[in-house]
Amino acid sequence: SALFEEAGDIIAALDSLDEFKPQALSNIIWAYTTAGESHQNLLKKVAGHIDGLDSLDEFNPQDISNIVWAYATSKESHPQLFKKLANYIISLNNSAVCFQPSLGP
């Protein structure tokens, strides 16, 4: 829809996504995918932003689950993003904090 296209264009054109909290990034990507809207520039911008972060410690399991689901469902290929998220999840499982994603109903 025009609303998704315009909003995606605005976000993708921003110099930085540093002002967006992890939940906002997760919700944006989830909303586009859930609505069946594709915006490659937005998906690329968010993936690049997350991949460029020094740490994913501010992301909670729900944020990470939504991001992984959205990118996988949208069939957008962002191998660096998936590698970064996978390494982060592995590091959590190797630490005192255990990441336990929901398996759904």
Rounded Cα gap, residues 7 and 77, in angstroms: 22
Mean pLDDT, all residues of the chain: 89
Q: Find out whether 25 and 49 touch, Cβ atoms under 8 Å.
A: yes
How confident is the model at residue 97, as a pLDDT?
A: 53
pLDDT tens-digit map of 67-101: 999 999 988 888 999 999 999 988 877 665 555 55
How confident is the model at residue 99, as a pLDDT?
A: 52
